[in-house]
Structure 1
């Protein structure tokens, strides 16, 4: 039975899967550390303060720091989870980071910037989104025989002329 759509093109048991998981874990760790330091830095301020608090190169406030701790823990969980749940979590987190990065960009110089974003935050969000999306694309897990069948199919179809 063949898979349909885009999911059929995602490699299974890719040899670089551990490298991608480490990258996702480092991103999750950075986000958690940023959030914790942000909570310490903004302690005593209003929750949605638009002050000039900078932590690890990004501007923050109490709300953004708290969201960062929570989301960083989710990304860390996705990075250490070895099954396809981690694969789906990394794909989802990548898309979320890209969408949030675009949303940040639209509210940057407005009163709607309640999480105190800056241009550097947008850039980091886009980079994290791309890396997490790549992680999600290359860390799908399947039975070894399924991966072997896929590998044989790809090598035989790439050897045909006109492909």
Structure 2
């Protein structure tokens, strides 16, 4: 089983970061929906919202995804932890897949290279926030602290 820090002291900062990313995605999606409302769902027009190219499908998905990320950031349990890990992986995979079809007709979300870069950046940040925002009872945090500072874990150089 993977080791995730429990009750990390910087957890509020990580929740704020994931909430800000969710807010950006939500605003981007709403702006994009207004921008692309008359176009086709998977249109390939030159529609831009907040510096990223979009179409109606991508904007609608962004509204849902942004709302879900903000919900996860507002929760004080491990739901946000799992949501951030999942969202980080989804953003990274989507960025890679869309970059591979960027100049083809398979670019159904109308990505540009700037959209790919932002997707990868958001994926890395969300993955990092997911790694450090796990919560647990104080006993689990104390056990982790003891394991971390155990003499065997410190090694001869400490």
TM-score, normalised via structure 1 length = 0.92
Q: 2:122 aligns with which of 128, 133, 149?
A: 128
Q: Which residue of 1 aligns with 2:154?
A: 159
- Is residue 28 from structure 1 mapped to residue 17 from structure 2 by the alignment? no
- C-alpha separation between the residues in 2 aligned to 1:129 and 1:61? 20
Q: CA deviation at 1:75?
A: 1.1
Q: CA deviation at 1:162?
A: 6.1
- Is residue 95 from structure 1 mapped to residue 89 from structure 2 by the alignment? yes
**Partner SS, residue 59 of structure 1:** strand
Q: 2:36 aligns with which of 42, 45, 56?
A: 42
Q: 2:10 aligns with which of 8, 16, 24?
A: 16
- C-alpha separation between the residues in 2 aligned to 1:11 and 1:51? 45
* 1:106-145 pair list within 5 angstroms: 106-145=100-139
Q: 2:46 aligns with which of 45, 49, 52?
A: 52
TM-score, normalised via structure 2 length = 0.95
- C-alpha separation between the residues in 1 aligned to 2:139 and 2:14? 22
- C-alpha separation between the residues in 1 aligned to 2:155 and 2:60? 54
Unaligned runs of 5+ in 1: none
Cα RMSD after superposing both structures: 1.3
Q: CA deviation at 1:56?
A: 0.5
Deviations 1:26-55 (A, max 9, x none): 000000000000011112111111111111
- C-alpha separation between the residues in 1 aligned to 2:76 and 2:94? 26
Q: Which residue of 1 aligns with 2:61?
A: 67
- C-alpha separation between the residues in 2 aligned to 1:143 and 1:89? 20
Which runs of structure 1 show a deviation greater than 3 angstroms over 4 or more consecutive aligned residues?
157-160
